[in-house]
Structure 1
Amino acid sequence: MRRCLVADDTETLWAALSATRPGQICLVADNAGPELLPDLVLADHLLHTDRAASEILHLKPYPYYVSDATTTDALACLNRMTTASGHASQIGERLSQTLATGRLTLRAHPFSCAPLPYADMPADLREDFAASTLTIMKGDLNYRRLVGDQHWPATTPFTEATSYFPGTVTALRTLKSDVVTGLASETLLALEAAGGAWRTGGTHAVIQTKPWDLPKSP
């Protein structure tokens, strides 16, 4: 699996989570169905291990693309997990409890379906992200919106392309479009030399993190 990662900021991600007390985490979902289930497992893991005090799961108010995850999809997945057996049932029950107590919030902001980059996000959504210890962006379209859907040189630092973002942000993305940032020069050379549709074929992925600059102690 690690060989498929062309950029891996996992250590930066865990360091960012360890740098502060557990706070709010935003998880911006992508697709419904079998992709939404591991998103919910991730949400439960962050809450269950006290890496998050609360979470906001951002979903679509309606499918922007046919596979987009909506609030209805999330509730259906939770119900399916709760009525399953073994660990799935335990996770479903825990998430249902956190939803009932308000530690987990499902949010469907209209901007999720807007044809605009995240640099143009409205003030209330910016406040959500700014108040969070971490925002996790899932999927190819969210990645493109995060970096402005521009054809950056692939070695452009991810932190530069997302410098506007009002907090720590991590992109978990399988490459399915030409847009990519944050690759090391040697990685890019190796990928180009190997040929193939590595940018668009869904065979490679990135874990990229832009940490928030915490204020320095006096």
Structure 2
Amino acid sequence: MCSNFLPTAKMMATDQAVHGVPPSLSAKVVGSFAYLTVKDRLPTILTKVVDTIHRNKNKFFEEYGEEGVRAEKAAISLLSKLRNELQTDKAILAMSDGLEDADSWNQYLQRQQSLQGDQDSVSWFKSPWLYVECYMYRKVQEALWLNPPISDFDAFNEGKTQSFFESQQAVMALCTYLEGLNKNMEELSENQLFEQLHKLLQVSLWGNKCDLSISAGQENSQKTSPIDSLASLRPLILVDDSNMVWSTLISAQRPGQSGKTTPGRVDIVLDNAGFELVSDLVLADFLVSSGLAREVRFHGKSIPWFVSDVTASDFQWTIRQTMAANHKWMSKSGVQWQSYVKEGVWSYHDHPFWTLPHEFCDMAADAPDLYATLQGADLVLFKGDLNYRKLTGDRDWEHTVGFDMALRGFGPAPLCSLRTLKANVQVGLQPGQGEKLSTQDPDWMTSGKYAVIQFYSPHAEQ
């Protein structure tokens, strides 16, 4: 519910009837993608977390002695209990770890209890899918946090690191392409500049296929040169608003001193580490070096999240690894990126709101500081599927409902979603487009095969 008061179930029903807000996707629909995720994928991910913690037992012993082993056992015990609660559809419990976001989580639980009518009905299979999935990752953090000295252990780090190294060929190809582009930047006409922006938006878009949570942590890297694949992937982009992104960047240029224009600020709300993050950094490099942006702010997660999401340490590690690479253009890119960070042209930010279960239309009320930050951007790029689910509330929208309507009032700045489809929500399609896709490919909404570059501007409504 996008407001700062607790609604009753009756009010929620009225909201749906009057405003046409559909119900949240939920595992209570047996056989749905949400159901299969909660039933199969989430327990698999929890099992992998338990295995990872157990495999690091010797490391914990070497670093912390018996205390490390005790912490490992206690964390695994909490996670095994969590897996059992999930698989037996137990009630969702309040957070008790005292972390800064615990109150927000517990208020959200109360909100769900008032919507669903009683305490026990807020359970793994009966509640919104987005909520219970986020809850699981937050409980993984709780299990570690309650067990110092292993509180800072990132159970997903091995997978993220492996994904980066297994994508080396693609990273090299991308950095080589960027080098050629930067060399000839001065000679590019406006049309050619737009073409290059379009290309790198697509590279960043398809980088989103490298998602470890959708594969439950299985190997998921980029092997081929992403530039070479773009032409064959073009027909799979269901909505392509790249021209709106271009015109937003152009109109954000303001007259500066001595007749020169000053470009605007672009914020990128990140998704996955590994190859996808590199594709985002390459796009950000191009935005700055082409003069389409003067500053890029990256927004990531403050805790390990959805298996492969970017944290501050992933961001810094990726730049360091790129700098240290035994490849001329890759290391040159890394050095450039490090200097962007040093000079403040690039900056990394995280905020507890990104790891709460709220849909983004709650942001203005629940995280006004973050909303105000985004209002300072001329364009906000939202990467990936989870951000799209939060943008649209992860609800059972008709495919033809406008993107603007599904945002339900969220619009701090012009925004664009770069997303490969991995969940049963997609809006802004042409009449008949969704039905045609369902006939051709029943899994079109969840396979990651299709994608959108979907734009909305609050300014267009003024």
TM bucket, shorter chain: over 0.9
* Matched-pair contact (CA < 8 Å) for 1:152–1:179: yes
Cα distance, 1:151 vs structure 2: 1.3
**Matched length:** 216
* Matched-pair contact (CA < 8 Å) for 2:421–2:448: yes
The C-alpha deviation readout for 1:148-190, integer Å capped at 9, x for no partner, is 1111111111122224211100000000000111111142232
1:158 corresponds to: 403
2:235 corresponds to: 3
The C-alpha deviation readout for 1:58-96, integer Å capped at 9, x for no partner, is 011111222111010011110111122233222211211
Q: Partner letter of residue 236 of structure 2? A: C
1:116 corresponds to: 358
1:28 corresponds to: 269
Cα distance, 1:111 vs structure 2: 0.8
* Matched-pair contact (CA < 8 Å) for 2:384–2:418: yes
2:377 corresponds to: 132
SS at match of 1:200: coil
The answer on 1:146 being equivalent to 2:391 is yes
- What is the alpha-carbon distance in structure 2 between the residues aligned to residue 207 and residue 69 of structure 1? 21
The answer on 1:172 being equivalent to 2:418 is yes
Q: Partner letter of residue 345 of structure 2? A: R
* Matched-pair contact (CA < 8 Å) for 2:267–2:381: yes
The answer on 1:190 being equivalent to 2:436 is yes
Give the 3 Å change call, closer, same or farther, for CA 201–79 of structure 1 in structure 2. Answer: same
Bigger drift between 175-184 and 155-164 goes to 155-164
* Matched-pair contact (CA < 8 Å) for 2:296–2:346: yes
- What is the alpha-carbon distance in structure 2 between the residues aligned to residue 87 and residue 203 of structure 1? 30
- What is the alpha-carbon distance in structure 2 between the residues aligned to residue 6 and residue 151 of structure 1? 18
Q: Percent identity?
A: 34
TM-score (norm 2): 0.45
* Matched-pair contact (CA < 8 Å) for 1:176–1:202: yes
* Matched-pair contact (CA < 8 Å) for 2:249–2:264: no
- What is the alpha-carbon distance in structure 2 between the residues aligned to residue 95 and residue 125 of structure 1? 25
- What is the alpha-carbon distance in structure 1 between the residues aligned to residue 292 and residue 461 of structure 2? 21
The answer on 1:94 being equivalent to 2:94 is no
- What is the alpha-carbon distance in structure 1 between the residues aligned to residue 308 and residue 252 of structure 2? 35
Bigger drift between 76-85 and 207-216 goes to 207-216
- What is the alpha-carbon distance in structure 2 between the residues aligned to residue 48 and residue 72 of structure 1? 25
The answer on 1:14 being equivalent to 2:246 is yes
Moved over 3 A (4+): none
Cα distance, 1:29 vs structure 2: 0.6
* Matched-pair contact (CA < 8 Å) for 1:117–1:145: yes
- What is the alpha-carbon distance in structure 2 between the residues aligned to residue 26 and residue 150 of structure 1? 25
What value does the CA root-mean-square deviation take over the aligned residues? 1.6
The C-alpha deviation readout for 1:28-76, integer Å capped at 9, x for no partner, is 1111112211111111111111111111100111112221110100111
- What is the alpha-carbon distance in structure 1 between the residues aligned to residue 457 and residue 361 of structure 2? 17
The answer on 1:202 being equivalent to 2:448 is yes
Higher relative contact order (CA 8 A, sep 6+): 1
- What is the alpha-carbon distance in structure 2 between the residues aligned to residue 35 and residue 132 of structure 1? 22
Q: Which has the higher strand share?
A: 1
SS at match of 2:459: coil
- What is the alpha-carbon distance in structure 2 between the residues aligned to residue 184 and residue 172 of structure 1? 18
Cα distance, 1:15 vs structure 2: 1.2
* Matched-pair contact (CA < 8 Å) for 1:12–1:211: no
Give the 3 Å change call, closer, same or farther, for CA 187–134 of structure 1 in structure 2. Answer: same
* Matched-pair contact (CA < 8 Å) for 1:31–1:69: yes
Give the 3 Å change call, closer, same or farther, for CA 214–158 of structure 1 in structure 2. Answer: closer
The C-alpha deviation readout for 1:82-140, integer Å capped at 9, x for no partner, is 12223322221121111111111110111111111111111111111111010000010
* Structure 2: stretches of 5+ with no match in the other structure: 1-232, 254-262
* Matched-pair contact (CA < 8 Å) for 1:61–1:108: yes
- What is the alpha-carbon distance in structure 2 between the residues aligned to residue 20 and residue 41 of structure 1? 21
Q: Partner letter of residue 328 of structure 2? A: G
Q: Partner letter of residue 338 of structure 2? A: S
- What is the alpha-carbon distance in structure 2 between the residues aligned to residue 4 and residue 86 of structure 1? 33
Give the 3 Å change call, closer, same or farther, for CA 176–211 of structure 1 in structure 2. Answer: same
- What is the alpha-carbon distance in structure 2 between the residues aligned to residue 14 and residue 169 of structure 1? 12
* Matched-pair contact (CA < 8 Å) for 2:411–2:457: no
TM-score (norm 1): 0.94
Q: Which has the higher helix share?
A: 2
Q: Partner letter of residue 136 of structure 1? A: L
2:313 corresponds to: 72
